[in-house]
Structure 1
């Protein structure tokens, strides 16, 4: 019996290129010995992405759609897609073909060698600005020094996971998941395949600077307590420095009370505000968990036939309860 590979593809306003993505993946899967299902997760698109995907579903039984009620974010779109897979292995990739499907057979080969997770390691990134490449490189290296997990450098969400790895991911229910960090955290036998990340076939990036910053903060606050430790250190530094500096000024007689006081006050206030901001990031994550809202709401699914009836509006936590 042929193995089934599920491909999960988050979609957000990909109208200019989604048809090319569908055609490319269908052409790719027809040439493979494994069976494939393509699970598109629409993250609240405002264009015609859903309409194009639904038309493809009418023509191809292996294409499926999970449609969010609104935009919940890229990482939750991946998380939702994993709940709807039925493959022996699952591949997560972007819907803009920057992750080339030609790499998937290499991942499958590694999986057959006994690896549970095979992630794509980007050796080159076309079509991206110098700023984005620099900030991405800085994030991964900063994260590696701060985090309690050893997440591999220069890897995104493009990866293959076998069924037991996916089942463990389905048990996690963080409100703001950092999926690539979660995949590292669950462990199992992991390896990489190197690939050349291509330029987008059409459209614009869905990760502007604001979303990149949010993803970075979600990742760091999910897997590291060191910023909290830094906050405590920063709170002590201005006090100690102020005491020694004041002692020096009084000992030498070189001081002006107003200037010295204002300098120390502003410096201390700035660092205290920084500390409060770091603490607030962690408290915000606690609040999200305490609220216990569904992480996402699925308004509609298509192409799954009978097996998902009655669970369209549930996330993974509700499915288990």
Structure 2
């Protein structure tokens, strides 16, 4: 019988762990003739009672295990740790707040039996999500698909069921700066996406805020597109050509019409404009260099303090 490893990243989720297990245990009972379930919680440096609750549930359920980080390393590190630790023939990633409905698991497994390597999920709508966040999310997917060769589906979740071969391929990518949504798409394989209605958290508060999502989006652009570097190059080139034309115009006007160049304000404005463009381009280049710098350090993506 095949084993299903369920990876559940947790950060300050003391209110949701028990609720999550209550729901997934129902699905486990329904599928026990087809799959054995193995739960792997990743405690990403939580500040509340998450770790104590994980210790408790791991003693109650023999198939519930956990890793606890030495500090908060972020969801990407938690996903990587879970994928590296998971031993199942099939592996899935789920949010502990039940925004990823466990009742989809039987249908996802049925699709795997049909021959798919990955069965992903995507939200059919963004009901209940702030309007600004929804608009920015849609804009992100439009832009990233415009500038990247790796297609990313709008509304796609990390909640997906993968075969062992797919997981092994993902783990071959040894990069430190990880953007899992892009990595999941980059490895390819036969993929199908199942739409579902958006679910709100069953309890607690999300740890994501506007700036966190913005940083995550920028990581996506940097990790899966060279377009920002191209934009910086062309912006600098166009600015240089325009500046040469302006200088030529000023010289010709002076020689033909003896018209003095007047207006320090316009001169300063041009200097500030060109300087701003240069700083903007240097900032883009610096972002790529910082990613290279982090890769060359070879620091571990996470540190495990405790496991069970």
TM over 0.5, shorter chain: yes
Partner of 1:193: 194
Match in the other structure for 1:266: 272
Give the corresponding residue for 2:302: 296
Using the TM superposition, give the Cα deviation of residue 247 of structure 1 relative to its aligned residue in structure 2, in angstroms: 5.3
Q: Verify the 8 A CA contact 1:6 1:37 in the aligned structure 2.
A: yes
Quick one: distance in 2 between partners of 1:42 and 1:48?
10
| Largest Rg, 1 or 2 | 2
Partner in structure 1 of residue 3 of structure 2: 4
Figure out how many residues of one structure are paired with residues of the other and give that number.
Answer: 301
For the residues of structure 2 that align with 1:254 and 1:68, how far apart are their CA atoms? 68
* SS of corresponding position for 1:104: helix
Please give the per-residue CA displacement for 1:209-256, whole angstroms capped at 9, x wherever unaligned.
222122112211111111101001111222323344455677596963
User: What are structure 2's unaligned runs of at least 5 residues?
Assistant: none
Match of 2:241 in 1: 240
Structure 1 match to 2:14: 15
- Contact kept, 8 Å, 1:238 with 1:267, in 2: the verdict is no
CA shift for structure 1 position 131:
1.2
The aligned counterpart of 2:139 is 138
CA contact (8 A) 2:177 2:295 kept: no
Map 1:1-321; keep pairs closer than 5 Å.
2-32=1-31, 33=33, 34-245=35-246, 251=253, 256-302=262-308
Give the SS at the match of 1:77: helix
CA distance in 1 between counterparts of 2:139 and 2:133 reads: 10
CA contact (8 A) 1:122 1:197 kept: yes
> For residues 92 and 77 of structure 1, do their structure 2 counterparts lie closer, same or farther at Cα, with a shift above 3 Å needed?
same
Structure 1: how far apart are the matches of 2:60 and 2:260? 83
TM normalised by structure 1 equals 0.89
CA contact (8 A) 2:9 2:79 kept: yes
Mapped to 1, the partners of 2:22 and 2:92 lie a distance apart of 18
Report the TM-score when normalising by structure 2.
Answer: 0.92
Task: Judge which range, 23-32 or 289-298, deviates more.
Answer: 23-32
Secondary structure of 2:205's counterpart equals coil
Conserved? CA contact 1:238–1:264, under 8 Å: no
**CA deviation string 1:17-63 (max 9, x = no partner):** 22211222222212224211111101000100111121111111111
How many Å separate the matches in 2 of 1:28 and 1:163? 21
Farther-moved stretch of structure 1 (218-227 vs 245-254):
245-254
Which residue number in structure 2 is paired with residue 308 of structure 1?
Answer: none
- For structure 1, which runs of at least 5 residues remain unmatched after alignment? 303-321
Task: Tell me by how many angstroms 1:165 deviates.
Answer: 0.4
Q: Is the 8 A contact 1:178 1:222 kept in 2?
A: yes
> Is the contact made by 1:68 and 1:296 (CA closer than 8 Å) also made in structure 2?
yes
Measure the CA separation in 2 of the matches of 1:132 and 1:96.
19
Mean Cα deviation higher: 229-238 or 75-84 = 229-238
